[in-house]
């Protein structure tokens, strides 16, 4: 739930990343805040933010990304930077970072080493 996490995934998988955000300012968030990214990323789903936070309040924000089945940059670490934004304030708060690594072989090896039964059975069949 922090910006330091690295998600190891396979091509075609759905990954989710959550952050706990807190209003550490002295005024409420502006109305209609949203999560924005610098460039459009296919298959990235960001939540609608329906609440504005008062000072000291927290909320969980979760994004979902479907990794394509055909992925040219496999075995590389990728980062997506998101920021809170509003028409009234512009960008505000810390950037939220989604970092993921697409590597089918390493994912299967980790699954075998950690003993994930369902994944381990699938790997043994291949």
Structure confidence by residue, pLDDT tens digits, 25-57: 999 998 889 999 988 898 999 999 988 899 999
The domain spans of the chain are 7-125
pLDDT at 64 over 70: yes
Q: Are 7 and 37 in contact (CB under 8 A)?
A: no
* pLDDT value at residue 66: 94
How far apart, in Å, are the Cα atoms of 72 and each of 69, 75, 78, 106? 10, 9, 12, 16
* pLDDT value at residue 122: 44
Q: Provide φ and ψ at 68, rounded to 5°.
A: -60, 155
Percent of the chain exceeding pLDDT 70 equals 81
In the beta sheet, which residues pair with residue 60? 20
- What is the pTM (predicted TM-score) of this model? 0.78
Rounded Cα–Cα distance for residues 65 and 87 (Å): 26
* pLDDT value at residue 123: 41
pLDDT at 4 over 80: yes
Q: What is the DSSP secondary-structure string of 18-69?
A: EEEEE--SSSPPPSS-EEEESS--TTEE--B----PPTT-EEEEEEEEEPPS
Structure confidence by residue, pLDDT tens digits, 76-98: 788 999 999 998 889 998 999 99
Mean pLDDT of the chain: 83
Which CATH superfamily, name and number, covers 7-125?
A: Immunoglobulins (2.60.40.10)
């Amino acid at each position: 739930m922090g910006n330091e996490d690295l998600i190891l995934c396979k091509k075609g998988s759905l990954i989710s990343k959550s952050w706990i955000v807190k209003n550490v300012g002295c005024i409420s968030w502006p109305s209609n805040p949203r999560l924005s990214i610098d460039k459009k990323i296919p298959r990235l789903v960001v939540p609608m933010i329906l609440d504005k936070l008062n000072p000291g309040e927290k909320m969980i924000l979760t994004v979902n990304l479907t990794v394509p089945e055909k992925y040219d940059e496999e075995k590389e670490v990728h980062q997506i930077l998101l920021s809170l934004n509003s028409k009234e304030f512009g960008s505000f708060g810390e950037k939220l970072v989604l970092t993921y690594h697409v590597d089918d072989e390493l994912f299967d090896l980790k699954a075998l080493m950690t003993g994930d039964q369902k994944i381990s059975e699938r790997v043994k069949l291949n």
